[in-house]
A and B are shown apart, each in its own frame.
Chain A
Amino acid sequence: MKTSRRTSSGIKSLQKLLIVFLAGSLVLSASCSRSEQPARETRYLMGTLVEITAYPATDRTRQAVNRAFARMEEIEDQADPYGSQTLEDLRRGNPSLLPAALSRILDVAMTVADRSSGAFDPTVGRAVRLWGFDGADPGIPPDSDLTDAVKTFGYSHLAVGPDNVARPLPPGRPLWLELGGVAKGYAVDEAADILVQEGVEAGIVNAGGDLRSFGPRPGWGQWRIGIQDPDDPQGLLGVLKIEGGSVATSGDYERYFEKDGVRYHHILDPANGRPSRSGIRSVTVIAETCALADALATAAFVMGPEKGLRLLETFTGVEGILVKAGGDLVVTSGIGERFDLERR
């Protein structure tokens, strides 16, 4: 009977301990669950759907998200190819004072143009308009129009002086700048910077698949970024795990039309003004900034698997995944365990 009483009191103590443990676990799990709830907002900007996800979901975070969107709208106005007076001046062959955002966007664009020997060229705007990928009626332009357009290409014909004035070289030469992708990437960078400055702990700014993340992702620690399978609009090629930074992808499935069984996509080769046929389906680039990742993804796409890979390897802190036309992958040497292949 004595033993029985002792056992009984032992079990009661165990029950009490269990209750304390379970109650603690429940409170902890519930609080973890709450802190993992982000503020999330989506808007149409710069011709794409922009989603900002920011942790934790507080009023302060929501105010920061609104400020980030406001900054993206400012950049959209400055880089709008149809509304920017600066870009219109350059199309007419006139010099023009660059607004601050346009100056930084152009700086990234010109750096990548130079390092890729013109595989990425921000002056292909005339051909982009002829193909109509940015409008309602895309189609194959006449050869003669494309030949004329190619004559307007050439990033070396643009000079930006210390006075921040962009000048066509020689004076009077029309320059049709196409800054869409880099401008979008720059806007993503600026939005992310604002969120960090406003004290947001972690977040991700995603502009149609070009994105920048910061802070430790609540719950997972790392950000898990799916990479689209070029052959399956809803499938993932794999998942990248990053602790912050930017990811951008250029692929032949983003904007395209088909005629007589041929796919005409929007990534143009500055050598001829036509959709690039370099043997690549998509290029995904990881970099510190989204503007750089976007420009490098386009450059590597045009250069092809071997030269494109070599280009990416020359940049510090840059990694890449290139999907060849047959489906084979080529990756940079530092990608390591950050990428899990998972075609699904």
Chain B
Amino acid sequence: MHGIIRKGPTLVDGMLVVMLFALTLLLSSLMRPSAPGSVLEVKTQAGEERLSLDREGRYPVSGPLGTAYIIVEDRMARLENAPCPLKICERMGPVGASGQTILCLPNRISVRVLGKVSVDAVSR
């Protein structure tokens, strides 16, 4: 018994620790519910681009009706100066949690916070 206690960590012990750590990381990433996101996916007719919620600023985004601005501050995003008639998109923000979305249908702009979400879709 003493012999075993005196022995230092072996290669097998190290492998066990690494595998346990990897399994914990994998399982926690699979089971995590929705959380604050950090990347915005911006889709327009021109294509798709990504913005970081960590970089505050006023980003122009264009659609068939004209240019609106994505305002990023305090890790939240919202649309401003939207050229659409009803301005519903301006009232949909700010967004910051994974899965939250701002849609401007007339100007064909969608802004979504990427990350793990707790629902597959939102019926609205």
A contact set with B: CB distance below 8 Å = 3-4, 7-8, 11-12, 15, 18-19, 22-23, 25-26, 29-30, 32-33, 36, 42, 44, 47-49, 51, 53, 135-138, 204, 206, 208-211, 213, 217, 219-220, 223-228, 233-234, 236, 239-240, 247-249, 251, 253-257, 284
> Within the complex, what minimum Cβ distance (angstroms) separates A286 from chain B?
9
When chains A and B are docked, how far (Å) is the Cα of A251 from the Cα of B88? Answer: 13
> Within the complex, what minimum Cβ distance (angstroms) separates A277 from chain B?
19
**Contact between A248 and B123, CB atoms less than 8 A apart:** yes
- Given A4-B4, A213-B120, answer yes or no on A233-B23 (Cβ-Cβ < 8 Å): no
| Contact residues of B: prevailing secondary structure | mixed
- Given A29-B26, A138-B86, answer yes or no on A44-B119 (Cβ-Cβ < 8 Å): no
B contact set with A: CB distance below 8 Å = 1-4, 12-13, 15-16, 19-20, 22-23, 26-27, 30, 43, 45, 65, 85-86, 88, 91-93, 95, 97, 100, 103, 105-106, 108, 110, 118-124
List A contacts of B86 (CB < 8 A).
138, 255-257
List B contacts of A29 (CB < 8 A).
23, 26-27, 30
**Contact between A11 and B118, CB atoms less than 8 A apart:** no
Closest residue to A22 on the B side, CB-wise?
B19
**Contact between B4 and A136, CB atoms less than 8 A apart:** no
List B contacts of A47 (CB < 8 A).
105
> Which 3 A/B pairs are nearest by Cβ-Cβ distance?
A209-B124, A226-B119, A228-B124
**Contact between B122 and A228, CB atoms less than 8 A apart:** yes
CB within 8 A of B105: which of A48, A233, A239?
Answer: A48
List A contacts of B27 (CB < 8 A).
29
- Given A44-B108, A47-B105, answer yes or no on A226-B16 (Cβ-Cβ < 8 Å): no
CB within 8 A of A225: which of B1, B45, B65, B122?
Answer: B122
**Contact between A49 and B105, CB atoms less than 8 A apart:** yes
> Within the complex, what minimum Cβ distance (angstroms) separates B22 from chain A?
6
**Contact between B119 and A225, CB atoms less than 8 A apart:** yes
**Known contacts A53-B121, A204-B120, A225-B123; 4 further A-B pairs (Cβ under 8 A):** A26-B19, A206-B121, A211-B123, A254-B88
> Within the complex, what minimum Cβ distance (angstroms) separates B93 from chain A?
8
**Contact between B88 and A255, CB atoms less than 8 A apart:** yes
List B contacts of A249 (CB < 8 A).
123-124
When chains A and B are docked, how far (Å) is the Cα of A282 from the Cα of B3? Answer: 72
Closest residue to A12 on the B side, CB-wise?
B12
**Contact between A49 and B119, CB atoms less than 8 A apart:** no
> Within the complex, what minimum Cβ distance (angstroms) separates B24 from chain A?
10
CB within 8 A of A8: which of B3, B30, B43?
Answer: B3
List A contacts of B122 (CB < 8 A).
209, 225-228, 236
**Contact between A7 and B4, CB atoms less than 8 A apart:** yes
CB within 8 A of A26: which of B3, B23, B88?
Answer: B23
